[in-house]
Structure 1
């Protein structure tokens, strides 16, 4: 079953939800706090083979559900 990475961007009250494989969520889960704190740009593999590039310097809140 897919996981979802939920992102809230600065200046936008609407969440962006990206479907990812459970392995991606597991890999990023432990590092997500550091990635957001440091504002890294990260490539994230989507659940259907897509590649998302997220600039975490614009992310205010990020979590997996």
Structure 2
């Protein structure tokens, strides 16, 4: 059985280095079923980080996104 993901990894169109955001299990559970649609539609989404902060992502600049 695979390990539970802890991060959202974003690959941006203008940056060859991926961005990794540490997320709480609750945030991952909420975001996972919608991630494909968010990336396809280029939504802007506020994402709660593991440390209680918030990160706003403009998914129109995201080429690929996955959990790790």
Q: TM class, shorter-chain normalised?
A: over 0.9
RMSD between aligned residues: 1.3
Q: Per-residue CA shift, 1:5-63, capped at 9, x if unaligned?
A: 00000021100000000111111001000000000000000000110000000000101
What is the alpha-carbon distance in structure 1 between the residues aligned to residue 46 and residue 5 of structure 2? 18
Q: Indicate the structure with greater strand content.
A: 1
Query: What is the total number of aligned residue pairs between the two structures?
Result: 65
Structure 1 residue ranges (4+ consecutive) displaced by more than 4 angstroms after TM superposition: none
TM-score, length basis structure 1: 0.94
**Is 1:53 aligned with 2:56?**
yes
What is the alpha-carbon distance in structure 1 between the residues aligned to residue 5 and residue 25 of structure 2? 6
TM-score, length basis structure 2: 0.90
What is the alpha-carbon distance in structure 2 between the residues aligned to residue 31 and residue 2 of structure 1? 16
Equivalent position to 1:16, from 11, 14, 19: 19
